[in-house]
Every structure is written in C-alpha cells, then in structure tokens.
Amino acid sequence: MSDRVWLMKSEPDVFSFTDLQTCGRTWWDGVRNYMARNYMMKDMKVGDWVLFYHSNAEPSGVAGLAIVTSAARPDESSFDKKSEYYDAKSTRENPRWQCVEVGFLNSLPRLVSLAEIKGNKRLAKMILLQNSRLSVQPVLPAEAREILRMAGVTGVEIGAHP
C-alpha cells in the first residue's frame, strides 16, 4: 500500500476535478516541464494519492482526491501533429514526454483554497508555495493529512482504499 501523495495542477476551464469524476480516469498528457515529467516517469506509482489542484481558478485550490491508476508511458499527444501539445522532437522511437494515468478517488466535503493553504503554518514548506510554476509535485504525508483535515475529511488514512 502506498502512502505517497502528489499534487497535480489543472486549470478547471480545461479539465476540472468534476471532469475527472465524469470520465473516471485520464492520461495526464500535455505536461512539458522536465521536473514534472521526471516525477511522473520515475517516482509516481500505481496507488499513490493525488491532490487535484485547480490553478488559474476562482478560487484556486485543492478540489478533490485522485489516485495514480497507471505508471508512466509515452505521452501520445506529443506525437499528434494536430495536438496543441505536439512536439516534433518527441518520437515513438525516442519519446521525450511521458505521463501517468490518474483516476477519480473521492470528492472532498469542500475545496481548500490557496489562501487557506498560505495561511496555515504547517503548510509553509509546500512546494506549491515555494515554486508556483511546478504542476506535478510531491506532498509530505503530514501536509496531505492537514489539507484533508481542512477539507473536512475525517477518519481517512492516506493510502487506504476508499
């Protein structure tokens, strides 16, 4: 059982947590940042929990709980000339970008806004607050527990199945 937690950002106008709830699972394609890619390729494992974060939103914040459903594989959108994420330097023989698949795990009683996160001393070291540009990032179990508590979640152990 995994007790590792990640935070992944998505603009809700593009793909929201409700969209994930509707479709069940999705490949996290379109990430074009090496640090974010490396976390997906090297560190994310099936069963890891994901805090689904709404960026560029009103309000921005942690909107729901997701889970890694498949380890990284080449990002198909990087091969697709019609995709806005197409990258001519990424080939099937030598894929430059990879992504994991993420599935819906649970809704939260309420969203935890960025303002609330900033206001909580226990969350001061979160990467979210140090580097606002990283869209895939690890979260410490204690930080994840705190955010779930703020969201009104009780009695849930990280990594436990819902």
Partner DNA sequence: GCCAACGTTGGC
Query: Which residues of this protein are in contact with DNA, per CB under 7 A?
Result: 9, 11, 32-35, 55-57, 60, 114-115, 118, 130-135
Nearest approach in angstroms of CB 7 to DNA is 10
Rounded to the nearest 10 degrees, how much is the dihedral formed by the CA atoms of 18, 137, 105, 52? -20
Judged by CB, which is closer to DNA: 25, or 96? 96
DSSP classification of residue 120? -
Question: Quick check: helix, strand or coil at residue 37?
Answer: helix
- 7 in Cβ contact with 61 (< 8 Å): no
**Residue 93 buriedness (CB in 10 A; 0-12 / 13-18 / 19+):** exposed
Q: Kindly write down the DSSP assignment for every residue of 79-93, as one continuous string.
A: T-TTSTT--TT--SS
DSSP classification of residue 18? H
Judged by CB, which is closer to DNA: 2, or 26? 26
Nearest approach in angstroms of CB 96 to DNA is 9
Nearest approach in angstroms of CB 153 to DNA is 21
Nearest approach in angstroms of CB 156 to DNA is 25
